[in-house]
Amino acid sequence: MKHELPSLSYQDRIHQELDKLGISLELISAKKLPFYAEADELTVAETDANGREFQMTPATADAWHAMKQAAADDGIVLEVVSAFRSIERQIEIIQYKLERYMPIEKILTLSAPPGYSEHHTGRAIDINTPGCMATEEEFHDTAAYRWLCTHAGRFGFTLSYPRDNQLGFIYEPWHWCYQPDQA
Protein backbone atom coordinates (compact mmCIF):
# COMPACT_ATOMS: atom_id res chain seq x y z
CA MET A 1 0.00 0.00 0.00
CA LYS A 2 1.35 3.36 -1.01
CA HIS A 3 1.55 6.05 1.64
CA GLU A 4 0.67 9.48 0.29
CA LEU A 5 1.93 12.62 1.89
CA PRO A 6 -0.83 14.87 3.11
CA SER A 7 -1.36 17.80 0.79
CA LEU A 8 -0.26 21.18 2.02
CA SER A 9 -2.94 23.50 3.23
CA TYR A 10 -3.48 26.59 1.10
CA GLN A 11 -1.82 28.83 3.68
CA ASP A 12 1.13 26.44 4.16
CA ARG A 13 1.63 26.34 0.39
CA ILE A 14 1.64 30.15 0.26
CA HIS A 15 4.19 30.30 3.07
CA GLN A 16 6.38 27.80 1.21
CA GLU A 17 6.20 29.88 -1.99
CA LEU A 18 6.94 33.10 -0.12
CA ASP A 19 10.02 31.48 1.38
CA LYS A 20 11.22 30.46 -2.11
CA LEU A 21 10.73 34.05 -3.27
CA GLY A 22 12.60 35.46 -0.27
CA ILE A 23 9.55 37.24 1.13
CA SER A 24 9.43 36.99 4.90
CA LEU A 25 6.21 36.70 6.84
CA GLU A 26 7.56 39.52 9.02
CA LEU A 27 7.63 41.82 5.99
CA ILE A 28 4.05 40.88 5.08
CA SER A 29 2.98 41.38 8.68
CA ALA A 30 4.70 44.78 8.84
CA LYS A 31 2.82 45.85 5.67
CA LYS A 32 -0.43 44.51 7.21
CA LEU A 33 -1.34 42.77 3.96
CA PRO A 34 -4.67 40.94 3.99
CA PHE A 35 -4.60 37.26 3.02
CA TYR A 36 -6.80 36.21 0.08
CA ALA A 37 -7.89 32.74 -0.97
CA GLU A 38 -8.42 31.91 -4.62
CA ALA A 39 -12.02 32.10 -5.82
CA ASP A 40 -13.98 28.86 -5.73
CA GLU A 41 -16.16 29.69 -8.71
CA LEU A 42 -15.10 31.62 -11.79
CA THR A 43 -16.65 32.41 -15.13
CA VAL A 44 -15.15 33.86 -18.30
CA ALA A 45 -16.47 37.40 -18.16
CA GLU A 46 -14.76 38.65 -21.29
CA THR A 47 -12.40 37.65 -24.05
CA ASP A 48 -10.22 40.32 -25.65
CA ALA A 49 -9.33 40.70 -29.34
CA ASN A 50 -6.26 38.48 -28.82
CA GLY A 51 -8.36 35.66 -27.36
CA ARG A 52 -7.22 36.26 -23.78
CA GLU A 53 -9.93 35.24 -21.34
CA PHE A 54 -10.66 37.25 -18.21
CA GLN A 55 -12.21 35.29 -15.38
CA MET A 56 -14.25 36.73 -12.52
CA THR A 57 -16.68 35.42 -9.97
CA PRO A 58 -20.18 35.24 -11.48
CA ALA A 59 -21.45 38.17 -9.35
CA THR A 60 -18.42 40.28 -10.31
CA ALA A 61 -18.92 39.47 -13.99
CA ASP A 62 -22.59 40.51 -13.80
CA ALA A 63 -21.68 43.77 -12.04
CA TRP A 64 -18.85 44.41 -14.53
CA HIS A 65 -21.16 43.93 -17.53
CA ALA A 66 -23.76 46.27 -16.04
CA MET A 67 -21.13 48.90 -15.23
CA LYS A 68 -19.46 48.62 -18.63
CA GLN A 69 -22.83 49.06 -20.36
CA ALA A 70 -23.74 52.07 -18.22
CA ALA A 71 -20.39 53.65 -19.05
CA ALA A 72 -20.94 52.95 -22.76
CA ASP A 73 -24.37 54.59 -22.52
CA ASP A 74 -22.50 57.67 -21.26
CA GLY A 75 -19.96 57.49 -24.10
CA ILE A 76 -17.18 55.93 -21.98
CA VAL A 77 -15.31 52.81 -23.06
CA LEU A 78 -14.08 50.55 -20.25
CA GLU A 79 -11.81 47.57 -20.94
CA VAL A 80 -10.55 44.80 -18.67
CA VAL A 81 -6.78 44.33 -18.76
CA SER A 82 -6.52 41.91 -15.82
CA ALA A 83 -8.95 40.04 -13.60
CA PHE A 84 -8.54 36.74 -11.69
CA ARG A 85 -4.93 35.72 -11.11
CA SER A 86 -3.90 32.35 -9.77
CA ILE A 87 -1.23 31.88 -7.14
CA GLU A 88 1.02 30.53 -9.89
CA ARG A 89 0.58 33.66 -12.02
CA GLN A 90 1.32 35.90 -9.03
CA ILE A 91 4.50 33.91 -8.38
CA GLU A 92 5.53 34.44 -12.04
CA ILE A 93 4.99 38.20 -11.72
CA ILE A 94 7.19 38.40 -8.61
CA GLN A 95 9.86 36.10 -10.11
CA TYR A 96 9.99 38.22 -13.28
CA LYS A 97 10.77 41.32 -11.22
CA LEU A 98 13.30 39.49 -9.04
CA GLU A 99 15.09 38.24 -12.17
CA ARG A 100 15.51 41.88 -13.18
CA TYR A 101 17.22 42.56 -9.85
CA MET A 102 14.40 44.65 -8.46
CA PRO A 103 14.63 44.73 -4.64
CA ILE A 104 11.78 42.92 -2.89
CA GLU A 105 10.85 46.07 -0.96
CA LYS A 106 10.26 47.87 -4.31
CA ILE A 107 8.40 44.88 -5.80
CA LEU A 108 5.98 44.90 -2.86
CA THR A 109 4.99 48.48 -3.68
CA LEU A 110 4.05 47.37 -7.21
CA SER A 111 2.72 43.84 -6.80
CA ALA A 112 1.19 41.84 -4.00
CA PRO A 113 2.92 38.61 -3.04
CA PRO A 114 1.15 35.31 -3.81
CA GLY A 115 -1.68 34.78 -1.36
CA TYR A 116 -2.07 38.51 -0.79
CA SER A 117 -3.42 39.75 -4.14
CA GLU A 118 -7.03 40.86 -4.48
CA HIS A 119 -6.88 39.33 -7.95
CA HIS A 120 -6.98 35.85 -6.33
CA THR A 121 -10.55 36.55 -5.23
CA GLY A 122 -11.91 36.88 -8.78
CA ARG A 123 -13.41 40.23 -7.72
CA ALA A 124 -10.52 42.58 -8.66
CA ILE A 125 -10.34 44.10 -12.12
CA ASP A 126 -7.68 46.25 -13.72
CA ILE A 127 -9.52 48.64 -16.03
CA ASN A 128 -8.29 50.70 -18.96
CA THR A 129 -9.71 52.78 -21.79
CA PRO A 130 -8.56 53.22 -25.41
CA GLY A 131 -5.61 55.58 -25.88
CA CYS A 132 -4.18 54.96 -22.41
CA MET A 133 -1.26 52.75 -21.42
CA ALA A 134 -2.60 49.88 -19.33
CA THR A 135 -1.84 49.87 -15.59
CA GLU A 136 -0.20 53.28 -15.65
CA GLU A 137 -1.00 56.28 -13.48
CA GLU A 138 -2.03 58.25 -16.59
CA PHE A 139 -5.36 56.41 -16.33
CA HIS A 140 -6.10 58.92 -13.54
CA ASP A 141 -6.40 61.68 -16.17
CA THR A 142 -9.00 59.92 -18.33
CA ALA A 143 -12.74 60.42 -18.64
CA ALA A 144 -13.06 56.70 -17.83
CA TYR A 145 -11.42 57.20 -14.42
CA ARG A 146 -13.60 60.21 -13.66
CA TRP A 147 -16.67 58.20 -14.66
CA LEU A 148 -15.61 55.32 -12.37
CA CYS A 149 -15.08 57.69 -9.44
CA THR A 150 -18.62 58.96 -9.85
CA HIS A 151 -20.46 55.74 -10.77
CA ALA A 152 -18.49 52.58 -9.84
CA GLY A 153 -19.90 52.46 -6.31
CA ARG A 154 -23.41 52.04 -7.71
CA PHE A 155 -22.25 48.74 -9.20
CA GLY A 156 -20.39 47.59 -6.07
CA PHE A 157 -16.86 48.53 -7.17
CA THR A 158 -14.36 50.41 -5.02
CA LEU A 159 -10.89 51.76 -5.77
CA SER A 160 -8.49 49.51 -3.88
CA TYR A 161 -5.25 51.48 -3.86
CA PRO A 162 -5.74 55.25 -3.63
CA ARG A 163 -2.79 57.57 -3.13
CA ASP A 164 -0.92 56.98 0.13
CA ASN A 165 -2.87 53.80 0.88
CA GLN A 166 -2.14 52.02 4.16
CA LEU A 167 -0.78 48.90 2.44
CA GLY A 168 2.11 50.77 0.84
CA PHE A 169 1.19 50.02 -2.76
CA ILE A 170 1.62 52.63 -5.46
CA TYR A 171 -1.46 54.59 -6.49
CA GLU A 172 -3.43 52.34 -8.86
CA PRO A 173 -6.31 54.29 -10.40
CA TRP A 174 -6.99 51.29 -12.67
CA HIS A 175 -7.50 48.68 -9.89
CA TRP A 176 -11.13 48.27 -8.78
CA CYS A 177 -12.62 45.51 -6.66
CA TYR A 178 -16.19 44.30 -6.50
CA GLN A 179 -17.19 44.74 -2.86
CA PRO A 180 -20.90 45.51 -2.85
CA ASP A 181 -21.01 45.61 0.95
CA GLN A 182 -18.39 48.42 0.99
CA ALA A 183 -19.40 50.48 -2.06
* CB within 8 Å of 94: residues ≥ 6 apart: 21, 23, 107, 111, 113, 114
Residue in 17, 79, 118, 172 annotated catalytic: 172
Cβ contacts of 99-108, under 8 Å, gap ≥ 24: 104/21, 104/22, 104/23, 104/27, 105/27, 108/23, 108/27, 108/31, 108/168
Nearest-angstrom CA–CA distance, 8 and 6: 6
**Catalytic annotation present for 172:** yes
- Enter the DSSP assignment of 79: E
List, by residue number, the catalytic residues: 172
